[in-house]
Amino acid sequence: MARIGLLRHGETTGTGFRGCGCDDPLTAAGEQAMQAAFAGSGPWDRIVTSPLQRCRRPAERFAQGAGLPLLCEPRLQELHFGDWEGLTAEQLMQHDADALGRFWQDPFGCPPPNGEDLAAFRDRVLEGWTQSVVAPGGRVLVVTHGGVIRLLRAHLEGQPLEQLLSIEAPLASLHVVEVGT
């Protein structure tokens, strides 16, 4: 069995939909929240991180401080929200309310305009998960994004992927799972 921790990044300086098209740094509060989540989470054998700085920079500090190997895995980046990158739900309600409503009701059937299709997102994330996280096994901390955590939890818990948006993954939250290798 592999013990895997899924740690979501903390609060960022950006607002709105923050997919892989936005690479914002963490706020001081976001940094502190992640450090608190990491402090009591181990032990870990290695860390795998999304390359976006809101994940990568704290993962680098965690790895260096604990003397752990670090792998940057681009397949564990957040969904690309296309035209919605950087926009808030309130802004979208003013000029694209129908599309936003369709996305919330059916994220697989109605992706963001010019954004990543959720089936492609699922395939990308699960490939990175299988090859870089689970296959090597051990105790692995994965520093990643809310959408990735929701997708992985749905996959591991046998929940329908169409219900991704109902799975909670607050900022700087740690979700520990055990999987067979």
Q: What is the DSSP letter of 171?
A: T
| Distances, alpha carbon 28 to alpha carbons 10, 31, 32, 35, in Å | 9, 5, 6, 11
Cα separation, 84 vs 20, whole angstroms = 11
Answer for the pair 7, 61: CB distance below 8 angstroms, yes or no.
no
Closest CA to 17 of 125, 147, 123, 127: 147
Instruction: Clarify whether 9 is annotated catalytic.
Output: yes
Could you say which of 9, 80, 145, 175 is catalytic? 9
Contacts of 24 (CB under 8 A, 6+ apart): 12, 13, 14, 18, 53, 54
Residue of 11, 31, 73, 78 marked active site: 78
* Residue corresponding to tokens 């089936």: 119
Euclidean distance between CA atoms 26 and 31, whole angstroms:
6
Please say if 116 is a catalytic residue: no
Active site residues: 9, 78
